[in-house]
Amino acid sequence: MPELPEVEVSRLGLVPRLTAQRIAGAVFRVPKLRHDLPPALATRLQGLRVDAILRRGKYLLFDCESNAGGGWLILHLGMSGSLRLATPGTAIEKHDHVDLIFPEQILRLRDPRRFGALVWQEGPSVNEHPLLCRLGVEPLEPGFDGEWLYAALQRRHAPVKPVLMDSHLIVGIGNIYAAESLFRAGIAPQRAADRIGRARCQLLARSIRETLSDAIAAGGSSVHDYIHTDGGAGCFQLSCAVYDRCGDACHVCGTPIRMLRQAGRSSFYCPSCQH
């Protein structure tokens, strides 16, 4: 699933190409993704200018003249979605379900599993939408630090890794980035969240920010379906210290990496470096 780094990389690729451009039309080739794609939405988008492209968690937010009678187009890539900028006339492939048509290019959403979302929020305030209003803090924003994390974890007795992946607490930390952040902080994924002290929370918060920033700089992680808007792939997964390396030697101490199941997901860790 595309997580915060992948969505941010997509946003950074779209901003210089689509900002200040007007939507000439929209094509929906399926009746719904995660939610319905009503023909009225395609009509509503026509002629609106994209004033900005923002991100909230794993959602891309297209400001379509929201302060001048328009609104916000909210896009989520789901489990397997990706965005491509294509030239008019580019052949349509099997899972190309949505086109946003601009004067000289097309923004094409490919979503094999159809778990993505494309919904509309009328008016200037996008954060009131039900998909966004209950999201947690942004880990790359100033409000996220060790003190905030320590206070938040004191209320959670569950293992720390699933807690970090709870989008109602912190947005955008997926399986890869939770595993790598915990390794960098030297914290075992099975440690109870409320048993992590203030000093280690400072280290963990810094490790989360560094891991996500490094992933964005590497173009995200292309493990399954994710690609960049220009068709390229992310490479952060090639430098992972623990993720998907069960049985391989730890780069730091040489101990074999282990794997356990937590909340239905695989957790990778070094039993010597993490405790």
The single residue of 55, 58, 200, 258 carrying the catalytic annotation is 58
The single residue of 2, 5, 159, 162 carrying the catalytic annotation is 2
Say if residue 166 is exposed, middle or buried (CB neighbours under 10 Å; 0-12, 13-18, 19+). middle
**Two tokens, residue 173:** 């930390």
Q: How many CA atoms does the CB half-sphere of 215 hold within 13 Å?
A: 32
Tell me whether residue 38 is one of the annotated catalytic residues. Answer: no
- Per DSSP, what are the bridge partners of residue 82? 110
Tell me whether residue 110 is one of the annotated catalytic residues. Answer: no
The single residue of 17, 22, 114, 265 carrying the catalytic annotation is 265
Contact in structure between 172 and 139 (CB atoms under 8 Å): yes
**Two tokens, residue 271:** 């039993």
Say if residue 120 is exposed, middle or buried (CB neighbours under 10 Å; 0-12, 13-18, 19+). middle
Tell me whether residue 58 is one of the annotated catalytic residues. Answer: yes
- Per-residue CA distances from 116 to 24, 79, 210, 211 (Å): 23, 7, 28, 25
Tell me whether residue 3 is one of the annotated catalytic residues. Answer: yes
Which residues are annotated as catalytic? Answer: 2-3, 58, 265
